[in-house]
Structure 1
Amino acid sequence: MNALDPVNSHGCGGGCSCSGSADTAEPELPLMEAPFEARPDDWTPPHVNGVALCDEQEVLDAPALRQRACTELLRQAAIAKDLLPADDPAPHRGATSEAAADAIERLLDTALELPEPMDAAGRRHYAAHAGRYAIGEKVRARHVLFAVTPGVDVQQLRQRAEACLLDVRNTTPQEQAAGDRFAAAAKSTSNCPSGAQGGDLGWLTAQDCAPEFARELFGQAEVGVLPRLVHSRFGLHVVEVLERAAGTTPPYEQVRATVLATLRQQSFATALSQYLQLLAGQAQMHGVELEGAETPLVQ
């Protein structure tokens, strides 16, 4: 698997222009630049072993800096292992060379110990998460999208989304009878074209949604406004489940390959996180903190 592949599926579901495939990776929020402010005279760029992670004109949020730091740690580790020439150019605004991307993949192939999941572990995982593997399950939902766009203040965006979530969850029956507050919020606030229809996404299957969206909607019993924001690479979503149509849960033997692939992915994510923490502990780093962080490189 390619730890550096770009993400290309979307955050919401089939009734929206942001529909995507559930077969793609599970990213976190988009990594966007924060509003630019003038640098102080003594400003020093965040760096890993002296290699700058951004230039003076960039102001990145913490997730973006962590992603660049993780990539740079792996690039330098590939050089140390003679998998990449020492004169490989430093990334420009986060973009590595093609040779560096290939070398990082070869590095991970040798550095990460990934035990093959046993069938017993697969059965335990399936028993605990059988709803994730249901076939034919459908959900009718609507959402309000707070999009992350270049220059947006992510913290302010989150505060707006949380205020919207609190507002639509605390609607009294009398207020609901007087008007559909969720639909009004979607029409006035949502950055998704579905806002014109009150945020309605119609009936969705897991295949209609990006993984991070499907994970929150399917294999669960919740109906109503979800008590949490749903994260996608496009931003933050306030989501209401209007109806559910139960699917059928196939026997373990029928989905065994999918279950074991899920366990392999989890093993890869854990091993990569541990390896990056080891590299970070050996590096001279400034302006970025990785310890305990879930790296966005985990795909």
Structure 2
Amino acid sequence: MAGTTLETQDNMSRANELSVNGIVIGAAEIRAEAASHAGDADPDLAARRALVVRELLTQRARATGLLAADAEIDDDVIDQLLAMECATPLPSEDECRRYYTANTAKFSSPDIVFARHILFALPPGAAMASIRARAEHSLRELRRHPDRFEALAASQSNCPSGQVGGNLGQLSRGESVPEFEAAVFGATHTGVLPDLVKTRYGFHIVQVERRIDGEPLPFESVHKSIERFLCEYVRHKSIQQYLTLLASEAELHGIALDVRAGPLLQ
């Protein structure tokens, strides 16, 4: 009975053993690699996938003569191998123009807003209801008398910008916290916004003084960036296909390798 149990455990151990074409990747190596994937949902699986890809590339580099039998693969050898077996052609100008035409919304100058604000900060332990009530009272006053905005900013705002009438200057997307940005760029009118803007910093009264909508950029000014994007996209797909081919031709144990599941090769 004890012998049967030991045999069963031994079979289970071999079933879980990770190997590529007979080359075993040990548990200690997997644990060490898993430390580099602590942020993944399954660090052990991520480590196994990374080590299998590395071993596949190592064996292929040795087969092509790029790597000596007793040498460890490095980034330079990987780059040479991919350049030799996974070349990525540059996209043509016509391909770049087609992408530009199909994605014109991506290629425009940024929307710009000139704005002021009054911040009613929420310090730790503060009574939110009373601060909100004070902010709403000031908002109602400014909706009736927007010309008083700078004076109220100077006397009430908890932001240093209050000393310059709440002036935030020129804003574009990505320069403020998401809640504030959504309120400012989500509207189309100018003047004092009708509602308070709640952010992690507190309650804001916002006045939009001017809006400048972004304009389409000419193809010539974005041609090179489109070319780089398409080249990187094609390279990524080409590497996925290359790894899929290597995996399909290899004898793998301890993993079902799917290169579509994530960026196996950085």
TM-score relative to the length of structure 2: 0.50
Larger relative contact order, structure 1 or 2 (CA cutoff 8 Å, min sep 6): 1
Q: Which has the larger radius of gyration?
A: 2
TM-score by length of 1: 0.45
